[in-house]
Amino acid sequence: MPANLLHVDASARTQSYSRATGAAFADAWRAAGGGYTYRDLAAEPLPHITEANTELSAMAGLDGVTDVAGLARLPRTAAQRAAWARSEPLLAELQAADVLLIGTPMYNFGIPSALKSWIDQVTFAGVKLGPGIAVVATARGGSYGPGAPQEPYEFQERYLRAYLTSYGPADVRFLNTELTLAPVLPPMSGLIEQHHASRDAALDEARTLARRLAADPTPAAA
């Protein structure tokens, strides 16, 4: 039985670097025979959560719920049932996946609101997401890696790593394309070669990793 990939994109730009890296991973995954589900959070944005969502999450924590079947038994009011109807299909996609692929840019030092809405819709106290592995294809205009002057402002990878490891995937990989503004901002023109190297490395690693995980989606040991 082929391994399943859930791929979610969050960039507002259709020709973005994060989408390109995610597409390279997805194409290699499908070429290797893996199952595939796609959700474009920018093209079809999810609503922000409501008070009913927070009620369901609190109820899950109080009742010790640990799985989706338990969540389905929680709604009592019309508002809670409506909230659950929005979250249930998203959780079903996650539960069916062996690997989660997220494509996201850095907006204002963090993640797009479209991705945050998805995270909020699928997160309930005590309930794990499902996939054992998460791959995150990122893009950011500057350089935010270890030792870079902008490193203290890096809240994209740090947030997603903390969130994902807290709610399920213990094995989280990042494919970062940096300095994406170098080709368009004259003051950054001296960094174009570094940007190209970062982009090419992310694309190459995306293809290699996809083929490896499609053949064996076993999480790496912690």
Determine contact, residues 74/84, Cβ cutoff 8 Å: yes
166 marked as binding residue: no
User: What does the DSSP assignment read for 6-71?
Assistant: EEEE--S-TT-HHHHHHHHHHHHHHHTT-EEEEEETTTSPPPPP-HHHHHHHHHHHHHT--SHHHH
Distance, in Å, from the CA atom of 5 to the CA atom of 26, rounded to the nearest integer, reads: 8
Determine contact, residues 105/160, Cβ cutoff 8 Å: no
108 marked as binding residue: yes
Angle between helices 113-122 and 78-95 (to 10 degrees): 100
109 marked as binding residue: yes
174 marked as binding residue: no
Could you tell me which of 167, 164, 196, 200 has the C-alpha nearest to residue 183? 196
18 marked as binding residue: yes
16 marked as binding residue: yes
Backbone φ, ψ for residue 83 (5° rounding): -65, -45
Q: Extract the runs of DSSP E, i.e. beta strands, from 108-213.
A: 133-139, 171-177
Residues flagged as binding site? 11, 16-18, 106-109
Residues flagged as binding site for FMN? 11, 16-18, 106-109
